[in-house]
Structure 1
Amino acid sequence: MHRLVRPLALTALAISCGAAFASTPADQVPQGKLPRWAVPQSYQLAFKVDPKQQDYSGTTTIKVDLKQAADHLWLDGHDLNVSKVTIAEASGHTHDGKYEAVALKEGVSRIDFGSTLKPQLLTLTIEYTAPLNQQLQGLYKVSHAGVPYAMTQMEPISARYAFPGFDEPGFKTPYDISLTIPSDATAVANTKQINETAAEAGWKTLTFAQTQPLPTYLVAFAVGPWDIVNGPDITPTDYRSETLSLRGIAAHGEGHRMQHVLSETPSIIHTLENYYGFGYPFGKLDLLAAPDFSAGAMENPGLVTFRDWLLLLDPDSPAKYVRGSFNVTAHELAHQWTGDTVTLAWWDDIWLNEAFATWMQQKVTMKVHPEYRADLDRISGAEGAMHNDSLTSARQIRQPITGNGDIETAFDGITYQKGAAVLGMFEGYVGEDIFQKGMRAYIQAHKFGNVTASDLVGAIATAANQGAPFKHAFNSFLDQSGVPYVQTRLEQKNGKTILHLSQDRYLPVGSTGNANRVWGIPVCVRYATSDGTKVSCELLDQAHGTMVLADASEPTWVMPNANAHGYYRFNLSKQEWAGLTQHVASLSDTEQLAYADSIDAGFRHGDLNASDAMAALKPLTRATTREVVVAPLDTIEWIYRNEAVTDAQRVKIVAWVSDAYLPRMEQLGYQRKAGEADGDSLLRSALAEALALDFKLPEVRTALLKQGDAALAKKADGHLNLAAADPDLLGAALAVAVQEHGEPALDALIAELPQTTDPALRNAMLAGLSAADTPALADKARDFALSKQVKVGEMAAILRGSHDTPAARDALWHWFTGHYDQVVARTGSFAGGRLPALAGGGGCSSAEADRLQTYFEPRLKDVTGADRGLAQTREQTVLCAALKAKQDPAAILR
């Protein structure tokens, strides 16, 4: 799954699957894993679904291996109205059973047999009805242009909303799916349709081929008046002998917009097959553009589902959507091997799915579209994860699961981006070819089965001929949270240049965490020689170490994270920082990103003041690479928003920003040029948004307002002329227009959004609505977000606005607490972990931290995952306040 997303001791590995979820006695309701004395062997799923209705019916038949004598078994089912349970024994004897929902919040149910049965193969048949879900979980209902559709999203634990079953990744079985649907509807599922028969008047029944063994969370189907378009066939390879059919699935009238993504897909599949040495195993491949969706995309084998704006592309689509489409498609298709073919045994190892798909997606993108610079995306993603990983409340990569909330909040930057960065770091340590050898062995050994972290680490260690120290180093990043902080000191001794290394845990100002932590870190250092630079590497697995820098010049300078392969931050002495800053332009793009992150880390650690940070970051703004150019913006924006308290200080920062970026903005211009690189389009968009909305440079706001006014002008047909603005800048242009014109602009967007089906245009209008910067207008936009005219998956786009100032956050807080029940009712339990950040994100005072705690603490029992979201949002608020108190605003003017 791809989330739209902007962590203890090594013994945790041993206890995470033991003490946290030990086998539950037969007479107690399971609080975690279901007991293993009843194991599903196969499913037959039959559904009768009409998207126009509010409910559907289903019959689930499960063959179950009953491994011990019992008079009942446990399984999962949520909001299911079961009318009949039939139990067929191995002898052929059939009798009724009883279904009882016993843990309503968790969705755990019990089936009573009526008598004690001996161990045998049972067949359970469960007939039920259920509502089409309204919160994008299980089997849910959506609409496009007023027309209803039904589709599924089962991950992580939402299959129980769609059908009764053993809703855990460790239970993999084949599925036979049949769908009875209205005669004029279309349906797709994980596998090819193999039959169609007439049902009662106005209905038909579609039957699909049996699936490969899957966990419940990968079962997928969709019903409605879908457009189905053929893509290019994916030709055979050395690892797959048959041609693979490819199709695009979209809401009625939208199928023609899928040709771009379909044309890119064969190259992705071929690249993955060649890497893994294992052919795509699922028979057919459909990519579905969902009208509304809770995630970015979902890797269901044979039927991969996406937010529609990732697949529905036109020649003038924003560059971020075109690039995002390829990256997310590569991510989901990478899952077909890591996640679908080989599946985690339990949710503490979700990184085996998501970190690997993120890491592999970047490898695919670098091969097929090297101009997209996925190597820089990996580093930017890792650095984003480090911000969260610096919290004492952060998750581990391999996080023990203590309840459903831990499962639902596991899909975060730690799992995805940190996990991918750690994989990349150890790939760099053993070498790409060796790592690939280990991955191929891992896939072959566990195909269509389940795995744990030790299976993967063991496969890589075996391929690399590495022993316990390597495994210990790898596991040190999996089984404890935090970011290593590597500090260096140069010494000349006996004619040698020696670099002293030390490590502890990076903790920002105000943290109450314990910095005494050690990892096994592959540390690689670039340093100056008389004729250039060299790189030296060492596995630092103690608190202190040394490295001899052979042939180092005198004096030399050091870059302590060569090629930015390492997941760590670094700190230098003041003199060594000066030497590195002097040579920053000679560093690679990847190293310049690591430099920017460690400057920001030093600022947040209290080692640098605002003036120091601004001076050290300024050289990066003159770079030629987009990602490097914009790297300083987050640090500068924090100083501007939280530290500058006088007009003079604000003017100084705006002057810094204007000098650094305005010439580049003017050079790019405000319209996409014919044939320009998409990197220029992305840079234009990033600079325009930052300069106009964060720093409010008049020149940029004026240019964007002109486009915003043109977009808000009505055409002859009464619709807004949204095509009048540059497609990459439309969202920012509408945001400026709302801020400058107020209610008339806001009302125009509120009127237009329900009439617009194009997802890119809807996203731009949502950006405009979220920019309302007075309490009354912001409240009007937020009220609109609760209406059915805004899709469930779009609501947060509006609510995420208005976090920039204390007054704006206060207004949001009062609105949110007054509408809390309505927000929860729309978003459902899966969004629980994000609710505290939605309400209180961006806070920077103890008062904001306290009110967040006071409000959410009594509500934690009602919304799963909110406890972790509260802990992290509160800690971020406290740390912001501590950094603000630590810094001297006068330093800005130095």
Structure 2
Amino acid sequence: MTFVDVNRPFVGTELCVARARALGRAQDSYKGNLMRNLTPRCAIIALAAASLSACASVPAETTVAAAPAPAADAVTPLRSDVVTELPRVATPRHYSIIVNPDMDAMAFTGNVAIDLTVFEPTQAITLNANNLTFSSAKLVAADGSTIALTPGSIADNLTVPFNAAQTIEPGDYRMEIAYAGEINTQASGLFALDYPDKRTGEDVRALFTQFEAPDARRFVPSFDEPSYKATFDLAAVVPADLMAVSNMPVVSSEEQGDGTKLVRFDTTPKMSSYLLYFGLGDFERMAMKASDGTEVGIVSPAGSGEQARFALEGLAQIVPYYNDYFGVDYPLPKLDNIAGPGSSQFFSAMENWGAIFTFERLLLDDPKITSAATRRAIYDVQSHETAHQWFGDLVTMGWWDDLWLNEGFASWMQTKSTDHFHPEWDQLMQRIGGREAAMGMDAFATTHPIVQEIEDVSAVEQAFDAIAYQKGEAVISMLEAYAGEDTWRDGLRIYMKKHAYSNTKSADLWSAIEQAGGTGVSEVAYDFTTKPGVPLVTVTGATCEGGNTTISLKQGEFSLDRKAEVTADPQSWRVPLLLRTGADGGMRELLEGTASYTVPGCGAVVVNGGQLGYFRTLYTPEMLDKIIAAFPTLAPMDQYGLMRDNLALSFAGYQPMGEGLDVLAAVPTSAEGVLAESTTNRLYEFYEFLEDDAAKAKLAAYATKHWQPRLMELGFEAKADDSVVNAELRDSLIRNLGAMGDPSVLAEADRLAAALANDPTALDGPLKQTWLAVIARNADADQWNMLRRLANETTSAVESDSYFTALGAAKDEALAKQALELALTDEPSKTVAANIISVAVSGHPEMGYAFVKANRDAVAELVDPSGRNAYLARQAAKGAPEQAIAQLEELRANVPASDHGVIDKAIAQEKYSLANTARQREGLSAWVDTL
């Protein structure tokens, strides 16, 4: 393992052969149009390599194959059933792009040559563009003749026509455009991040790109939609002492004699425009070969050193595992993951093909500040983005209405791969939390189906939500269990091979699963992906006779804001069940309407055994009593799912509040770590939810009595032999008990704050951010100023952002207001300022949102354009429901209609809270009185 400069020219037979393999294994696949994807020297080597059996065939002991190369003459008009905002008169085949960024002026110039095919006579070629200006444009025909083009104005839908004075006849052309654009300060298009140099502390600047969903058009005029796939050649004129990174390795780097160099990257495979990537900065690269021969690397700010190793070694594990699972080799010669300082209000990482981008806090393992939970997240997020290299990059949804084919599957696969390599982390338990997040949105009338209608690109950003991610993962997990793991995997292999380098719709996936033997999957999948909402399975009766339990079930619909309506006329789903008594294997059934089943045993029957079904289960009081009595003997997964499910049913009014809370109380203090953590999280949420001081004090005393012994057993300090699960539980207990005023936690926080005042390393270690949260919440003016000083003194961007964000958490309103004012200065980084504001508004919603409203334009500039109105809606929704509703409705009246969806969801949730809070608090207080 060595540091490798990514700008090193791409030479040598090994990588050339790898490039050849990436384009197909059969000898003929290296001929014709595919040869244009290889550099001349590499093409010669590739042709020779194609005749070698070692390069042209798969070892007999494995089913893994290279993804079939796209057909050489597959240039056709966009299929009619795929949405597009562009005229269907042309399609791109290849882009050659050269950009020249000016990092000081925050601007860039570019030239692009687009090889395209025109299918019918037209007067204009229309492309996507945003905030670009054009200095020249022309078409060059196959015979060398040219047609001058005049750019029109960029329309509201971010398209621009390039008009010709004559008819453009069908045929092949090269479209050449000279243009200019801006470098942004937020993660949209080509953007800059400023951060302290890890070696000197001096401010430095690096460039990165973020194009999903509609922002490649900020970087290059293009057919910027997922179905317009093409190959890309990217080159850049950059400072000679900086490292440039893109999807493919560097093929040449030529000094220009003026302190710059011209860096050229190898040609990409055929891909969608949103997956293109460019980065530039004072970087270093740690790299190694994965077992499949892929070179994997972590690109990070210079001085990161060993902080990259944990992610690198994980990446080297994940790629071969996915090769095997999907039955298709990763088709690029390298896969980098690039660390960027700062944060975004919209995303944490992006799956650019061959060049994943991840914010540093979720990629680099800094022993001074990285917690156990963050180490889990580093592996988990990287697993997600690497899964996209197949689900999303190799095979891409045709339009954004099938976004879940990217995000739901990447979420599901990240859990599977993380659990495979780290079963001790209990990763599968995390799916319960994801399911609950999805159902929390899906139970409102404002929800949408997994496969949703996206009419235009302005609405795409709202599709990135818990339905696409968490419901997608939950439904896939359910379908995998229904079809069987082997059948499901075989279906995905068929899907990957059949649709490599192309675009799909959800029906294409179901067809592949059925082809693999997944009989009946399509019908269940259709129900759960095209219908919004949450099924409700109600137990209408249960009797025990002869050692068996006969249980009667009825399928309905669970809702938070339409309970009467869905009770009278529920939607119907075909619902897969796993009925089991205790922790036995159980029996699988498919519920349609009503049915009765006989289950072996007379104990507690769990309807959703293993918690893989996407539905809620309403038990009779008698059955729930049996479940509570048997709780210690149930599988941890069922304990967790039953606890969350019954709390949701009680708070929604489907059963008394006490029933769900009794299930919570049944969780033993010796519970598995993920379940114990979730339990204490719920107790803290209830503590914050209550308004009566006496009830809050009693609940806090209950939490301390039951959970402080577990914290004392774990200790206040991290241990070398900590499991990840125990380390995360310690973190949760400190935060939650501290927030509820536990004296021992607050005393330890005071001791550590005093130590920090004299020694900036006093908190260094995996609990640093945990104790910062407790200290900041209870900070006085001196402690607050200490945190601010430390934020400015550290050379770690992640540490600095943590200190600055903590400033907003102060309970003292005057200090929180100072944090808000600080966020609008140049002192914190431009990307962390929005975090400061969000934290401050959470603690002081009335004062905080008044500040946001008074400074709306300045606050909006601190957020990615794609996430601005969602961010503002989150701030407006904090505080008392009546006030939140008024704030949200005012916001809705002042934003485009395309942004109404996210605000409407927030309004629905606040109206539900307004109608139900009194009942919920009364029931919670009554239960607390019994403790």
TM-score (norm 2): 0.86
Of the structure 1 ranges 766-775 and 304-313, higher mean CA displacement relative to structure 2 is found in: 766-775
C-alpha separation between the residues in 2 aligned to 1:510 and 1:434?
A: 38
1:342–1:450 contact (8 Å) kept in structure 2: yes
Once the two structures are superposed, residues 38-87 of structure 1 have per-residue CA deviations (whole angstroms, 9 ceiling, x without a partner) of 11111111111232332111001111211111101221111111111111
Match of 1:559 among 606, 626, 636: 606
Match of 1:459 among 512, 515, 528: 512
> Match for 1:521: what amino acid?
V
Match of 2:254 among 197, 200, 204: 197
Match of 1:131 in 2: 182
Task: Indicate the SS of the match to 2:726.
Answer: helix
Work out whether 1:657 is the aligned partner of 2:657. Answer: no
Compared with structure 1, are the counterparts of its residues 74 and 568 closer, same or farther at alpha carbon in structure 2 (3 Å cutoff)? same
Match of 1:112 in 2: 163
1:441–1:459 contact (8 Å) kept in structure 2: yes
1:96-111 equivalences in 2 (<5 Å): 96-104=148-156, 106-111=157-162
Structure 2: gaps of 5 or more residues:
1-77, 197-202
| CA deviation after TM superposition for structure 1 residue 264, in Å | 2.1
Match of 1:751 among 789, 801, 812: 789
| CA deviation after TM superposition for structure 1 residue 277, in Å | 1.5
1:833–1:868 contact (8 Å) kept in structure 2: no
Work out whether 1:812 is the aligned partner of 2:848. Answer: yes
2:801–2:828 contact (8 Å) kept in structure 1: no
C-alpha separation between the residues in 2 aligned to 1:293 and 1:128?
A: 29
1:850-889 equivalences in 2 (<5 Å): 850-853=886-889, 855-861=890-896, 866-887=899-920, 888=922, 889=925
Match of 1:734 among 772, 775, 786: 772
2:648–2:660 contact (8 Å) kept in structure 1: no
Task: Indicate the SS of the match to 1:232.
Answer: strand
Structure 1: gaps of 5 or more residues:
1-20, 25-29, 237-242, 716-720
Task: Indicate the SS of the match to 2:274.
Answer: helix
C-alpha separation between the residues in 2 aligned to 1:843 and 1:103?
A: 39
1:392–1:513 contact (8 Å) kept in structure 2: no
Of the structure 1 ranges 131-140 and 765-774, higher mean CA displacement relative to structure 2 is found in: 765-774
Task: Indicate the SS of the match to 1:201.
Answer: coil
| CA deviation after TM superposition for structure 1 residue 493, in Å | 8.8
Match of 1:675 in 2: 721
2:138–2:148 contact (8 Å) kept in structure 1: yes
Work out whether 1:351 is the aligned partner of 2:404. Answer: yes
Match of 2:289 in 1: 233
Task: Indicate the SS of the match to 2:153.
Answer: strand
1:190–1:302 contact (8 Å) kept in structure 2: yes
C-alpha separation between the residues in 2 aligned to 1:118 and 1:874?
A: 52
Match of 2:554 in 1: 502
Match of 1:471 among 522, 533, 544: 522
Match of 2:119 among 41, 62, 67: 67
Compared with structure 1, are the counterparts of its residues 692 and 657 closer, same or farther at alpha carbon in structure 2 (3 Å cutoff)? same
Match of 2:38 in 1: none
Compared with structure 1, are the counterparts of its residues 491 and 648 closer, same or farther at alpha carbon in structure 2 (3 Å cutoff)? same
Match of 2:235 in 1: 178
1:706-725 equivalences in 2 (<5 Å): 706-711=751-756, 713-715=757-759, 721=760, 723-725=761-763
Task: Indicate the SS of the match to 1:148.
Answer: strand
Match of 1:10 in 2: none
Once the two structures are superposed, residues 831-853 of structure 1 have per-residue CA deviations (whole angstroms, 9 ceiling, x without a partner) of 13522443133444234212321
Task: Indicate the SS of the match to 2:162.
Answer: strand
TM-score (norm 1): 0.90
Match of 2:6 in 1: none
Match of 1:587 among 634, 637, 649: 634
1:692-707 equivalences in 2 (<5 Å): 692-693=738-739, 695-707=740-752
Match of 1:827 in 2: 863
Compared with structure 1, are the counterparts of its residues 613 and 763 closer, same or farther at alpha carbon in structure 2 (3 Å cutoff)? farther
1:509–1:883 contact (8 Å) kept in structure 2: no
Compared with structure 1, are the counterparts of its residues 601 and 324 closer, same or farther at alpha carbon in structure 2 (3 Å cutoff)? same
Task: Indicate the SS of the match to 2:556.
Answer: strand
Count of aligned residue pairs for this structure pair:
838
| CA deviation after TM superposition for structure 1 residue 350, in Å | 1.0
| CA deviation after TM superposition for structure 1 residue 270, in Å | 1.4
Work out whether 1:331 is the aligned partner of 2:369. Answer: no
> Match for 1:886: what amino acid?
R
Match of 2:433 among 380, 384, 387: 380
| CA deviation after TM superposition for structure 1 residue 321, in Å | 1.8
> Match for 1:879: what amino acid?
Y
Once the two structures are superposed, residues 147-184 of structure 1 have per-residue CA deviations (whole angstroms, 9 ceiling, x without a partner) of 11111111111101111001111111100111111222
C-alpha separation between the residues in 2 aligned to 1:546 and 1:253?
A: 65
Compared with structure 1, are the counterparts of its residues 741 and 375 closer, same or farther at alpha carbon in structure 2 (3 Å cutoff)? closer
Compared with structure 1, are the counterparts of its residues 524 and 100 closer, same or farther at alpha carbon in structure 2 (3 Å cutoff)? same
Match of 2:665 in 1: 618
Match of 1:288 among 316, 335, 338: 338
Match of 1:240 in 2: none
C-alpha separation between the residues in 2 aligned to 1:634 and 1:82?
A: 54
Once the two structures are superposed, residues 440-494 of structure 1 have per-residue CA deviations (whole angstroms, 9 ceiling, x without a partner) of 1000001111111001111112212414xx3121111111221211111334499
C-alpha separation between the residues in 2 aligned to 1:22 and 1:171?
A: 11
Match of 2:587 in 1: 536
> Match for 1:152: what amino acid?
T
Match of 1:718 in 2: none
Once the two structures are superposed, residues 340-365 of structure 1 have per-residue CA deviations (whole angstroms, 9 ceiling, x without a partner) of 11111110111111111111111111
Match of 2:597 among 547, 558, 574: 547
Of the structure 1 ranges 700-709 and 569-578, higher mean CA displacement relative to structure 2 is found in: 700-709
> Match for 2:213: what amino acid?
P
Match of 2:651 in 1: 604
Task: Indicate the SS of the match to 2:114.
Answer: strand
The share of aligned pairs that are identical, in percent, is: 26
C-alpha separation between the residues in 2 aligned to 1:322 and 1:195?
A: 36
Once the two structures are superposed, residues 192-248 of structure 1 have per-residue CA deviations (whole angstroms, 9 ceiling, x without a partner) of 11112233522211111110001110000111221223x221133xxxxxx222222
Task: Indicate the SS of the match to 2:667.
Answer: helix
Match of 2:319 in 1: 269
> Match for 1:360: what amino acid?
M
> Match for 1:656: what amino acid?
Y
Task: Indicate the SS of the match to 2:474.
Answer: helix
| CA deviation after TM superposition for structure 1 residue 828, in Å | 3.5
Task: Indicate the SS of the match to 1:42.
Answer: strand
Compared with structure 1, are the counterparts of its residues 578 and 400 closer, same or farther at alpha carbon in structure 2 (3 Å cutoff)? same
1:844–1:878 contact (8 Å) kept in structure 2: no
Task: Indicate the SS of the match to 1:73.
Answer: strand
Work out whether 1:307 is the aligned partner of 2:359. Answer: yes
C-alpha separation between the residues in 2 aligned to 1:254 and 1:386?
A: 40
Superposed CA RMSD: 2.4
Match of 2:21 in 1: none
> Match for 1:285: what amino acid?
L
Match of 1:689 among 735, 747, 751: 735
Match of 2:11 in 1: none
Match of 1:631 in 2: 678
C-alpha separation between the residues in 2 aligned to 1:323 and 1:210?
A: 34
Of the structure 1 ranges 191-200 and 747-756, higher mean CA displacement relative to structure 2 is found in: 747-756
Task: Indicate the SS of the match to 2:328.
Answer: coil
C-alpha separation between the residues in 1 aligned to 2:891 and 2:144?
A: 54
